[in-house]
A = this chain, B = another copy of it.
Amino acid sequence: MSPAPLLNLFDYERRAEARTHPAVWDFFAAGAGDSITVAENRRAFERTFLRPRMLVDVSRIDTTTRLLGSPVAAPIMIAPSGPHGVLCPGGEADTAAAAGRAGMIMVAASGSTRPIEAIAAASTAPLWLQLYLYPERPRTLALLRRAEAAGCRAIVLTVDSPVFGRKERSLRTEDSFDWPESGNLEGLPPPSAPPVRGAPATWDDVDWLRQATPLPLVLKGILTGEDAALAAGRGAAAVVVSNHGGRQLDGAIASLDALPEVAAAVGGRCEIYLDGGIRRGVDVLKALARGAQAVMIGRPILWGLAVDGTAGAFDVLDILHRELAAAMRLCGRPTLASIDRDLVR
């Protein structure tokens, strides 16, 4: 009997769980605390209903756009996550190949299994690098220089992790797996102390980072209009409305629910992305209608990698892309520009 077809991202989730070491699965699946925010991220999409328009000319659907100036096939990015090397032999290089094939942006995590240079070599689409700020600025600067040399086009600073969220499900099993070191961080100046659990940073660090690199700066983990306004005012090129997939502060507002106030506060001064709970093309549509320019996909990429490496990760992106195009067609919104607030109830 041939295996059941992989029609959607939930199919990938089930298949991936069956193929992954339980400790690895627990690490990626876990939310902080009681996973209230993990569940709320999904519920926010499920209770958002659409008002589709009919009899619009949707003979041609265009999902392309530019994100920080780079043309992309769709407003779907790969969120930073990792380490991918525990899911497939090629690690993040496999992920980059999938992103390139899909024409979508990958945000590589600074703690990736593979060095950023190897990821860049496998990449044919725009590559961005995610950072936590290290207390040792030379260490951060060295990573920035490597990212610039590797051709990364933006730096994504994760701002929601002054301490790492307590993922209890993972704490119960993590010791049963032999976790690899980060291949990306090997060559850097050593930290002055054992790796901190978390990365405190302040707006002053953001200012410093902005002048430390010519690359546009994206702040990931914004959940309030107040912070979004500060980000835009301090020259951030984009913010990512995110609660870190429910892995940091359990009880944090669902990212979709935070989006309207962020959009209102930003007022077009910088781009806005969203992650957290995207599982269907129609979810992408809901996020765009609420004010995002693009979304980021976290766990589903891991499921794709676990099932079939590059091919699996590409298929996950491709399913979402096709679902998004179909949803745009069914909603009478043939272009991203035609997606407006009236689309959501």
Contact = CB atoms under 8 A, between A and B. Distances in A.
Main secondary structure of the interface of A (DSSP, over half): loop
A163 interface: yes
Given A51-B224, A55-B201, A223-B52, A250 B172 contact: no
A202 B55 contact: yes
Contacts of A249: 50, 52, 282, 327, 330-331
A197 to B, nearest CB: 10
Interface string A219-260: 101111011001000000000000000001111111001100
Contact of A205 (B36, B55, B282, B327): B55
Contact of A252 (B49, B226, B253): B49
A1 interface: no
A176 interface: no
B330 A257 contact: no
Contacts of A286: 251
Contact of A159 (B45, B55, B168, B230): B55
Interface residues of A, number: 68
Interface stretch (A4-12, A14-22, A85-93, A111-119): A4-12
Nearest to A4: B172
A325 to B, nearest CB: 9
B251 A54 contact: no
Contacts of A50: 249, 251-253
Copy tally for this chain in the complex stands at: 4
Interface in A166-202: 166, 168, 171-172, 198, 200-202
A340 to B, nearest CB: 11
Contacts of A8: 33, 168
Nearest to A285: B251
A341 interface: no
A212 interface: no
Interface in A26-40: 33-34, 36-37, 40
Interface string A271-306: 000000000101000100000000000000000000
Interface of A: 4-5, 7-8, 10, 33-34, 36-37, 40, 45-46, 48-59, 159-160, 162-163, 165-166, 168, 171-172, 198, 200-203, 205-206, 219, 221-224, 226-227, 230, 248-254, 257-258, 280, 282, 286, 323, 326-327, 329-331, 342, 345
29 contacts: A4-B172, A8-B168, A34-B46, A49-B257, A50-B249, A51-B253, A52-B160, A52-B252, A54-B160, A54-B223, A54-B227, A55-B201, A55-B202, A55-B219, A57-B200, A59-B200, A162-B330, A163-B326, A163-B329, A165-B326, A165-B330, A166-B323, A200-B329, A224-B342, A248-B330, A249-B327, A249-B330, A250-B282, A252-B330
